[in-house]
Structure 1
């Protein structure tokens, strides 16, 4: 049986469904040009009749057209190709697929090696920075005692610094003789004063000044100074002389008089501040740590339950 009239059947079936060649090509995955050739019974563009037979079966199944009687007219062909499916690639010939070439890794050279010097330098910088920071913290921790003693000076206190010259002894005639002058606390009513080292008065020999250096005050010098005429138990006017000597850092508040006024002294003290002395008939002392200070009255150790000096 010839294939004449087959293309007309395909065209009528397609038109009965109100389909265009493009719509039929999209549904059957066959190029519109191939469908047009099949409907025109033109199989000259097909590589072989066996190849065209496959398109007839697909198109006939889609349009419900029986193409079995027409298959005998197609001879088998030994030539098999895939050119009919090249419409999926826009009519471009398939390129041969080649295995991707593995990228060659450059041979490691000595330049790619990481130098350990940056790591060593960073460790050294960290160690030096930590040491400097620790040193600064230690300096700041040791300095507060001196800084507070200068910054927290009471504005009500008007200390008068005085020194008592020591008469030169037998050895005072030598020009290089060193004399020691005990520090005597200044007398200030209702105001604290800090005992300081006084420079001994220079004695003159043969009309020329003699240069002498002051020596640090010792406990023996303080004891001798307190045994001088100022060591009387009660001065005229019944004024008690109360001295507070800090042994370690603590907080002290001192009120002179009946205790109704503002404190005459109130701050932190340390051994570097020296002895603080007060004059008054009644002195009230409030200390944070009683064992951190040494309190004397009129040059003598303070007795328990003293009527004139209250410690709490």
Structure 2
């Protein structure tokens, strides 16, 4: 049976539904050019009549046109190709194994920065370690220098510290020392400091250290000593024309000499406010203290600030 007139039926049915060729192609998912060829009864561009038969059935079912009487005309062709339909053809084999290998080879040949960074880190660590060893050698004494230098352990520095002897009781002092009436001055009995040598081992150093300055150790003032001194001063009130009272305001070291006799100081020790006021009688006095503000000195009941002809105050 001839298929002439089938395309006109399709065209009339499409126009009856008010559909354009483009809309029919979108709804049937058939190319617009193929639908135009079917409506023109031109099947020469189809790769196979089997495709044309399938498109006729789809288009006829969509437009409700009976195409079964025309299908016998498409049974004569058994040739089937897929030319012109790229979506039905097999994907071509990848061509670029060689083309892709060349960039990979170039990437592999590129030098890596990891070994370079590791080498820099090793160099920095080695430099720091050598610097640390050199500083350690500078600080630590060398054995040759220690052997060549004299052993400083044998050097002994003597630190002389005044140490007061215990004061004997007033009865013993009165028995051992006869009273002297010709001398108008009265000295408070004070213990004569006896220097004692204290051997101190100096630490091991490359060079011997200099002798440290003299250090004096404070000795506490006993109440009986203060009482004995005050008793002696009261007993000799009539013999001295001047009287000085020294009141400690804070702890300091004090030396008192009466009648300009520095070889026999009447009083020499550390004093503090807890010791109370110490009195002396005589013609002339010399007072030496470490801190002038640490004591308050009165002469015959009046406060003396800078001294006078009978009282000399020296602050070290």
TM norm. shorter chain > 0.5: no
Question: Which one has the largest radius of gyration?
Answer: 2
TM-score where L is the length of structure 2: 0.40
